[in-house]
């Protein structure tokens, strides 16, 4: 399937900003099963400089500088992405304890690299409370992927998806207690539960096909990948209780949201301001 993805971010200021510097992560990754065909990024006012680089995780980051005074700052990203759904295969039989021990031993390059995602990050820290939440699912000897599927389903059914009910600075344990949030919270929650069992998990940021049945499709979406030794990374979307298979477009990944915000930066002046975000992902044609 070929998708057209449009991502618009508007910053509206009560008084003019004299200058601003921002970093954008709006370039969908090219990976097995996903290929970026086209990308256009338009910024208003026009930046005086653009600088592209690859960050530590391999995501494309674009630094832009605006010196022109402005009271609105608009970024419009338009991309065309071809997605090939993965070929269904039998789930690996490895138990979660065996996976944990093999990862800790770092007997192969994939496990050694994945272990970077076991440790605490600024927005996701392991805790006994998160481990307690995960334990009813991670029973002795249970296959890892089977447990991951159930944890995805539990978060989907036990937590209420409620836009604007949380903010990025809300502690993860408060999300656990309140049992509500948005896709970002649910991804952080699942990652935290897995790290609390010493299992590596990473945060995926991207887009979801626009559909009434897809929660979180009208903004940047978030989901999780967990590492299975000998098989690689498996992705899970706890917001929608699915394993991504053609509707998800990945833009960037990292330890948590702090590594991959679509737009972040600083501005001089401006006073109070508001942010509006629009995302649309629609199919263009069959490849």
Structural tokens at position 143: 């296959």
7 pLDDT exceeds 80?
yes
Tell me if 90 is assigned to some domain. no
Please check whether residue 220 is in contact with residue 262, taking contact to mean a CB–CB distance below 8 angstroms: yes
Tell me if 245 is assigned to some domain. yes
Tell me if 91 is assigned to some domain. no
Of 61 and 91, more confident: 61
pLDDT for the residue 161:
92
Residues 155 and 131 in one domain: yes
Residues 254 and 271 in one domain: no
Residues in the chain: 287
Of 177 and 90, more confident: 177
Please check whether residue 192 is in contact with residue 120, taking contact to mean a CB–CB distance below 8 angstroms: no
Residues 267 and 235 in one domain: no
Whichever domain contains 130, its CATH number is 3.10.620.30
Tell me if 59 is assigned to some domain. yes
Tell me if 168 is assigned to some domain. yes
pLDDT for the residue 219:
81
Backbone CA torsion sign across 16, 20, 23, 26: positive
Per the prediction, the chain carries an average pLDDT of 93
Please, where are the H alpha helices in the chain?
Answer: 96-105, 109-114, 128-134, 144-158, 172-178, 183-195
* Spatial distance between the Cα atoms of 9 and 118, rounded to a whole number of angstroms: 32
Residues 105 and 19 in one domain: no
pLDDT for the residue 286:
54
* Spatial distance between the Cα atoms of 32 and 34, rounded to a whole number of angstroms: 6
pLDDT tens-digit readout, 229-250: 999 999 999 999 999 988 999 9
Which residues are 204's β-sheet partners? 223, 253
Residues 121 and 229 in one domain: yes
Residues 129 and 43 in one domain: no
Mean pLDDT of 61-71: 95
pLDDT for the residue 210:
83
- Under the banding of pLDDT at 50, 70 and 90, the label for residue 97 is very high
pLDDT for the residue 245:
85
Sequence-ordered strand ranges (E) for the chain: 2-24, 34-44, 49-54, 60-66, 70-83, 160-161, 180-181, 201-208, 221-228, 232-236, 248-254, 263-269, 273-285
Mean pLDDT of 146-173: 91
Tell me if 89 is assigned to some domain. no
Structural tokens at position 67: 């010196």
Mean pLDDT of 58-68: 96
Residues 234 and 133 in one domain: yes
Rounded to whole angstroms, the maximal C-alpha distance in the chain is 61
pLDDT tens-digit readout, 129-141: 999 999 999 999 9
Structural tokens at position 278: 């629009």
* Spatial distance between the Cα atoms of 196 and 125, rounded to a whole number of angstroms: 8
Q: Is 169 exposed, middle or buried, given 0-12, 13-18 or 19+ CB atoms closer than 10 A?
A: exposed
What are the two backbone dihedrals, phi and then psi, of residue 97, each rounded to the nearest 5 degrees? -70, -40
pLDDT for the residue 56:
97
Residues 253 and 278 in one domain: no
287 pLDDT exceeds 60?
no
Structural tokens at position 187: 């991804």
> What proportion of the chain, given as a percentage, has pLDDT over 70?
99
Residues 134 and 245 in one domain: yes
| Domains held by the chain: number | 2
pLDDT for the residue 90:
78
- Under the banding of pLDDT at 50, 70 and 90, the label for residue 164 is confident
Residues 173 and 208 in one domain: yes
Tokens 């679509």 appear where? 262
Mean pLDDT of 73-95: 90
Residues 67 and 187 in one domain: no
Query: Domain span at residue 277?
Result: 2-84+261-285
pLDDT tens-digit readout, 170-216: 899 999 999 999 999 999 999 999 999 999 999 999 999 988 778 87
Whichever domain contains 70, its CATH number is 2.60.40.2250
Residues 112 and 205 in one domain: yes
């Amino acid at each position: 399937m070929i998708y057209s993805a449009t991502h618009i971010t508007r910053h509206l200021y009560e008084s003019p900003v004299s200058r601003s510097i921002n970093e954008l992560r709006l370039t969908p990754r090219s990976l097995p099963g996903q290929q970026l065909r086209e990308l256009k990024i338009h910024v208003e006012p026009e930046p005086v400089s653009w600088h592209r680089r690859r960050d530590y995780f391999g995501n494309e980051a674009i630094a832009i500088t605006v010196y022109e005074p402005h009271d609105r700052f608009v970024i419009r990203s338009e991309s065309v992405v071809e997605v090939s759904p993965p070929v269904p295969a039998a789930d690996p039989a490895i138990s979660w304890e065996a996976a944990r021990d093999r990862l800790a031993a770092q007997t192969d390059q994939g496990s050694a690299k994945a272990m970077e995602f076991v440790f605490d990050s600024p927005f996701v820290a392991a805790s006994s409370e998160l481990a307690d939440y995960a334990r009813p699912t991670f029973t002795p000897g249970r296959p890892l992927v089977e447990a991951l599927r159930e944890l995805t389903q539990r978060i989907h059914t036990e937590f209420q998806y409620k836009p604007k009910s949380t903010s990025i600075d809300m502690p993860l344990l408060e999300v656990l207690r309140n049992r509500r949030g948005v896709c970002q919270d649910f991804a952080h929650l699942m990652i935290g539960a897995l790290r609390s069992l010493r299992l590596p998990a990473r945060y995926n940021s991207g887009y979801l096909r626009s559909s009434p049945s897809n929660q979180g499709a009208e903004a940047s979406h978030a989901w999780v990948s967990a590492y299975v030794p000998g098989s690689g990374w498996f992705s899970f979307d706890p917001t929608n209780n699915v394993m991504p298979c053609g509707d998800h477009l990945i833009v960037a990944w990292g330890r948590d949201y702090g590594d991959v915000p679509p737009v972040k930066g600083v501005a001089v002046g401006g006073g109070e301001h508001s942010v509006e975000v629009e995302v649309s992902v629609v199919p263009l044609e069959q490849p």
